[in-house]
């Protein structure tokens, strides 16, 4: 059976890849502490149009890419981001071990899999989920 464009095939030579969420931030130091120090992401690159201009940067951890922005209008504070992953129990243990603010980090079992939810200092909600076979 031929693969259709809606099932992942190529239509007119185009190929869609994973989306990269853009999350609003208001304080560079708090963003670095949360995303780099606490969640274990690495900074890939950052950009400012000038010295005192807002920061835009890409961070990553394995195959997960996120863009963080201080630019007004790029993203809405309090957004949500669902991150599919493997090894959520080990990830949960890692976060609990370096929990700087004694956050209540639960490991939830949901019908679609196990997940850890965290909220960044700017109100953005990230759900890291190891999905079960029925949800994939």
For 8-35, what is each residue's pLDDT tens digit? 567 788 999 999 999 999 999 999 999 9
* Contact status, residue 32 vs residue 40, Cβ threshold 8 Å: no
For 30-64, what is each residue's pLDDT tens digit? 999 999 999 999 999 999 999 889 999 999 999 99
> What are the contacts of 29-38 at 24+ separation with CB within 8 A?
30/121, 30/122, 31/68, 31/120, 31/121, 31/122, 33/100, 34/120, 34/121, 35/59, 35/66, 35/68, 35/120, 37/98, 37/100, 38/95, 38/98, 38/99, 38/100
| Percentage of residues of the chain with pLDDT beyond 70 | 90
pLDDT at 103: 74
Q: What are the structure tokens assigned to 68, written together?
A: 């963080």
Residues in the chain, total: 136
The pLDDT confidence band at residue 6, using thresholds 50, 70 and 90, is low
The pLDDT confidence band at residue 136, using thresholds 50, 70 and 90, is confident
Overall average pLDDT of the 104-113 stretch: 92
Instruction: Set out the domains of the chain in order of their start, with CATH numbers.
Output: 19-135 (3.10.180.10)
Overall average pLDDT of the 120-125 stretch: 96
């Amino acid at each position: 059976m031929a693969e259709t464009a809606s099932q992942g095939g190529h239509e007119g030579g185009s190929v869609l890849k994973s989306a990269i969420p853009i999350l609003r931030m208001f304080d560079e130091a708090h963003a670095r502490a949360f995303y780099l120090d606490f969640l274990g992401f690495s900074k890939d690159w950052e950009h400012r149009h000038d010295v005192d201009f807002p920061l835009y940067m890409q961070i990553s951890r394995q195959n997960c890419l996120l863009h963080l922005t201080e630019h007004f209008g790029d993203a809405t504070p309090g957004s949500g981001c669902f991150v599919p992953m493997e090894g959520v129990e080990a990830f949960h243990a890692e976060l609990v071990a370096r929990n700087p603010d004694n956050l209540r980090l639960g490991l939830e079992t949901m019908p679609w899999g196990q997940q850890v939810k965290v909220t960044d200092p700017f109100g953005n909600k990230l759900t890291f989920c190891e999905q079960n076979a029925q949800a994939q």
